[in-house]
Copies of this chain bind each other. A is one copy, B any other.
């Protein structure tokens, strides 16, 4: 059976102050009036039933995530006491799923991405599920690049595998410089690493045992039934024992049998404020605005006003975000540095770290 594993941890720091620790990106209704996490579950529902899904999220927002996903049984929404990146969360999910179903296939989906063409997305997932079952592959969805993005990971695509439409992966490159990103875009042999993975649960547990021994050992102390009375306590022990490591770095970049389904379903990870220009903007629009916004001689700005007014006078190419708690004003080319603002606010104790 195919199971959705929704990774709903973190809070989208680079979308601060629209996104905050208590109102994280995955709960924001950025598109079509629906939260990203609900859209993620709904998009995969025809392939993997919500009742069989597992959701991993921060303990502090577990209740809010549960409210947003009423079709997922509450015990299947697991609160992480502390973030440890993706590998420990995915290993935990594999540990639970393989006990329920030795042939379980996992579709690992970040909860905070936008997909324009849900049908194309599901077709790609179904191709990947076939490759996970037929070839026992570690399958990723690779997105055809549409710009020389330097904030993404890239995969160089190899020959087609035994499964038609599914390719081998020759190399991973994390966040290339601008020249390399241009070359990847022009060359046509690279795909973006979407962070969406499809594999058999038992296959991932074997990889965990081989490559992430501390995670493997910590799993031994964990019940495979999230409804168990002592599961909460065991989870705390698990997260205090595992290292912080990503699936990409900890497994994919070293493993054999890594496959990719090249796809183009209008994907965006909404990784920074500049993404909102793509997600919200209409072609030809001079400025991209949300809320009560007043512009006087403003050009190519992204302006978001939440419960209040934002006004811009005589400026171009900037991001402005107003919430009652905070204002961000950022040159568009510096959107990644919103992270530095958040770091400073943590240092001052204004944002909890």
Residue of B nearest to A334 (CB): B314
Stretch at the interface among A34-42, A192-200, A238-246, A304-312: A304-312
A348: chain B residues within 8 A (beta carbon):
292
In the complex, are the beta carbons of B345 and A326 less than 8 A apart?
A: no
Compute how far the CA of A294 lies from the CA of B311 in the bound complex, rounded to whole angstroms: 20
Number of copies: 2
In the complex, are the beta carbons of A327 and B337 less than 8 A apart?
A: no
A320: chain B residues within 8 A (beta carbon):
327, 329
A331: chain B residues within 8 A (beta carbon):
313-315
A296: chain B residues within 8 A (beta carbon):
334, 337, 340-341, 344
Compute how far the CA of A315 lies from the CA of B315 in the bound complex, rounded to whole angstroms: 10
In the complex, are the beta carbons of B308 and A329 less than 8 A apart?
A: no
Q: Mark A315-353, 1 if CB is under 8 A from B, else 0.
A: 100101011111111110110011011001100101000
A228: chain B residues within 8 A (beta carbon):
none
In the complex, are the beta carbons of A328 and B341 less than 8 A apart?
A: no
Listed by A's residue number, 11 A-B pairs whose Cβ atoms lie within 8 Å are A294-B345, A296-B344, A308-B323, A309-B326, A309-B345, A311-B328, A313-B328, A314-B330, A318-B329, A320-B329, A322-B327
Tell me the count of chain A residues lying within 8 A, CB to CB, of chain B: 36
In the complex, are the beta carbons of B314 and A337 less than 8 A apart?
A: yes
Compute how far the CA of A323 lies from the CA of B305 in the bound complex, rounded to whole angstroms: 12
In the complex, are the beta carbons of B329 and A312 less than 8 A apart?
A: yes
What are the 3 A-B residue pairs with the smallest beta carbon separation, nearest first?
Answer: A314-B331, A314-B334, A322-B327
In the complex, are the beta carbons of A310 and B327 less than 8 A apart?
A: yes
Compute how far the CA of A331 lies from the CA of B334 in the bound complex, rounded to whole angstroms: 18
Compute how far the CA of A79 lies from the CA of B314 in the bound complex, rounded to whole angstroms: 37
Can you name 18 extra interface pairs (CB under 8 A) apart from A313-B340, A315-B329?
A17-B309, A294-B344, A296-B334, A296-B344, A297-B334, A308-B325, A308-B326, A310-B329, A311-B329, A312-B329, A313-B329, A313-B337, A313-B341, A315-B331, A322-B322, A324-B324, A324-B325, A327-B327
Query: Which single member of B292, B308, B312, B326 contacts A311 (CB below 8 Å)?
Result: B326
Shortest Cβ distance from A289 into chain B, in angstroms?
13
Q: Mark A11-48, 1 if CB is under 8 A from B, else 0.
A: 00000010000000000000000000000000000000
In the complex, are the beta carbons of B313 and A334 less than 8 A apart?
A: yes
Q: Mark A197-231, 1 if CB is under 8 A from B, else 0.
A: 00000000000000000000000000000000000
Residue of B nearest to A16 (CB): B311
